[in-house]
Amino acid sequence: MSRPPKQNPPTTQPNGVSVIQSQARAPAATPRVSAPQQQQPQQQQQAPQLVPAPRSAAGGTATSTGRMKKPSADKDSDEYRQRRERNNLAVKKSRMRSKQKAQDTQQRVNELKEENERLEAKIKLLSKELSVLKDLFLEHAHNLADNVQPAGAAPDGASPAAGANSHGQ
């Protein structure tokens, strides 16, 4: 997956080309008529083509010239049509996957965002806990410093500092 290595520069090229395309297939057996979208006004016929030529048998007749012995065998070819159909299928498949992947990626973003929030919340909580504990610690330290004087120290009359501790867990 991922085919970054290759043709990209052309995107910048504002050329226009136009590779004609046409389609003149589907006799009657292929009722693949319903375009997923709307209805088709008319059925069209098409015209001759031009690209699907370089398709000869093996070391065929006139491959060099680019001409084939049978004048009526380009896109009319059964094989051509078959190949096209297969490719169209593959294309659809590929595009479907692509879309799916994009969706998944988008969802991944959402999930990650959620988890991020969760983590941040947790950090906040832990930070608070830590802060509380530290304060408590300092308080004790002060108490010790003030009281730990064996004889002459007033065990209680002093100041426990404002109290302060509210365990919130």
Positions that interact with DNA (CB under 7 A): 1-8, 10-11, 13, 15-19, 21-23, 25, 32, 35-41, 49-52, 75, 83-95, 97-99
- For a copy of itself, the binding residues in 115-144 under the rule CB under 8 A are 115-116, 119-120, 122-123, 126-127, 129-130, 133-134, 136-137, 140
164, interface contact from DNA, a copy of itself, none, CB < 5-8 Å by kind: none
- Given 3, 5, 29, 37, the residue binding a copy of itself (CB under 8 A): 37
Q: Which residue from 81, 91, 92, 72 is spatially nearest to 25, judged by alpha carbons?
A: 81
State which of residues 74, 76, 85, 139 lies at the interface with a copy of itself (CB under 8 A). 85
DSSP per-residue letters across 9-74: GGGG---------------SS--TT--SSS--SS-------SS-----SSS-TTTTTT--S-SS-S
Please identify, using beta-carbon distances, which residue of 5 and 71 lies nearer to DNA: 5
